[in-house]
Amino acid sequence: MDNQSAISPLGASFQDGGIRLRIWAPDHDRAEVVLFEEDGKTERGRTAMAAEDGGFFSARLPAPAAGARVLYKFAVGGGGPFPDPFSRAQPFGVHGPSEVVRMDFPWTDGEWKGIAPEDLVIYEVHVGTATQEGTFEALITRLPELRALGITAIELMPLASFPGRWNWGYDGVALYAPQVSYGGPEGLMRLVDAAHREGLAVIIDAVYNHLGPDGNYLRCYTGRYFTDRYSTPWGEGINVDGEGARPVRELLAGSAEMWIRDYHADGLRLDATHEIRDASEPHILREISERARQAAGGRRIVVIAEDERNEVRLVRPVSENGIGLDGVWADDFHHHMRRAFAGDKDGYFEDFTGTTEDIARTLNAGWFYAGQPTVRSGKPRGTPPQQAHPASFVHCIQNHDQVGNRAFGDRLGGGVSPEAFRTMSAILLFSPYTPLLFMGQEWNASTPFLYFTDHNAELGRLVTEGRRREFQAFASFQGAEIPDPQAEETFLRSKLQYEEIDKPEHGGVRALYHDLLRLRADHPAMRARERGSFEARAVGDHGLVLVRRGGGKELALWVCLRGELRQSVGDSLAWQIVIATDERRYGGGGAEGVREGLVNGEVRLDGPAAVVIEREG
């Protein structure tokens, strides 16, 4: 079978007045559909499946009575039964029977056209900890305040069904079935429909580089889903370019298509794409992107990669020998900022200096490493990014990885002063690149985001031991008890506490985010995001200025990382303060010194601090 040949749909679907079920099990000579009673445990009957060319098997079932559920598994080669790898719902968890789902939700978003990449302000959300209820339905209640803040898109951490009651989502095993504890298929549809009513786009974090270890039944059907030609941090690679890999590619690309078509999602964030190896053409990432766009039916969507290689080909158009994605996470910015303000220097932070010169270089380019060797490896990393539009680069000062992969899940606010947090926030939101906020960042939430799982006892024990062993080598954690990922308390501690917003030290930060996002959305100089409309430069060892121009207007963000910054800006009558991070309304001590300095044509900052000033005319 050619890797690019079209294949008939896999899984369960309503067709011609009945249900069609189809699987790929080329390592077996027979297969059956196994039906279950409503309890999801009692077997109700079996139906033999007909063999097809290429290792496929199919069967047809009569349409169910109104209101009846169809719960099923597949038995292959005398083994099983196993859940459907293309299951649309797992109401009893990843080990239980799959459910046939009618995708006939009464959508109300017919006028929604999607969002342009240059208008993205992304808010990363873990559904299970974003509210006390931890559901799609509960998250709907938070949407109006996000839109009022200036957010334009929520990015939902992975939704594909995972084992247990809670998980980050990167252990997903059913790539077509929204997690039941979040609300399942209908709950997700209700959330997306509500988001569109609020004017918010919805991006779904999709994991196509591996499947979790618990509940992954692909090998029960065939070992051909995987290949030992490539290795990943999670084991063997996904076989997307080997002989007969078309059904494997369909598992991934069909999932991407489904999120866009059936759930009206506005985009995908593709996890760790550097671990998806494909030597064939077109690259699987291109196929995923193209299938997703076709499924959008004219709506504008975005496909964004998380990729550590700084490879501009990802966002280059297909017509220019690129992959054709819309964006890529560019973490060099985060790493320089953490080095500069928090002093992080272990691990990959060794490759970053945090100097004002290198921060300015990163702000001018989009990422820092563009082909020069890294400190740790001595090998070249990255490609020149200047040919890509600034909106293609997603920047952050914290995200789920940078918080949750710390031993105690401490957020940025736990490692820097309030003054530094406000300053870093101003740089992030003033820059021309696409900003990503991690939930709660807009009020400098104090709750941790810990690493949590709910695996079976044996796997859970190994996860806990591995997590604690991972941090034994760090001197700063000697003698400290790393939170147990398997403990319910670890999960519950990670839930946002919205009552914090009413406290002055948090409410002021939210006011700053609101004002910066309003400036970003409305000001002509901020709306201009093409290359040539902005410029960053270092001012001594501790100062930085980023200038934005557009619509006959000019804004300048002046930053002092530490110590004092005293810099002449010329005619005092030409400039006025727009936003100063030390304003009392933002939780600072007051910006009187900044105002006095500007009267005399001078920027005066005692760092860490930042000020946005505007030049008239």
With H, G, I as helix, E, B as strand and everything else as coil, classify residue 386: coil
Closest C-alpha to 183, from 226, 231, 133, 219: 133
What is d(CA 451, CA 42) in angstroms, rounded to the nearest whole number? Answer: 35
Catalytic residue among 99, 257, 266, 271: 271
CB burial of 178-205 (b: ≥16 within 10 Å; e: otherwise) equals bbbbbbbbebbbbbbbbbbbeebbbbbb
**Residue 122's beta-bridge partner residues?**
153, 436
Tell me which residue has tokens 């990922």. 485
Which residue in 42, 27, 458, 405 sits closest to 214, CA to CA?
458
Q: Mapping DSSP to helix (H, G, I), strand (E, B) and coil, where does residue 495 land?
A: coil
Residues 6+ apart with CB under 8 A from 503: none
Specify the amino acid at residue 391: A
| 475 φ/ψ angles, rounded to the nearest 5 degrees | -60, -35
Report the alpha-carbon distance of residue 541 to residue 37 in Å, rounded: 70
What are the phi and psi torsion angles at 506 (to 5°)?
-100, -40
How many other CB atoms are found less than 10 A from the CB of residue 372?
9
Is 109:197 a contact under the CB 8 Å cutoff?
yes
Q: Which residue has the tokens 């929520």?
A: 154
271 is catalytic: yes
306 a catalytic residue:
yes
Catalytic residue among 275, 306, 442, 582: 306
Cβ–Cβ contacts within 10 Å for residue 102, how many? 10
DSSP state, residue 389 = -
Tokens representing 396 are 């952050």
Q: How far is CA 108 from the centre of its chain?
A: 26
Closest CA to 251 of 274, 218, 273, 279: 218
Residues catalogued as catalytic: 271, 306
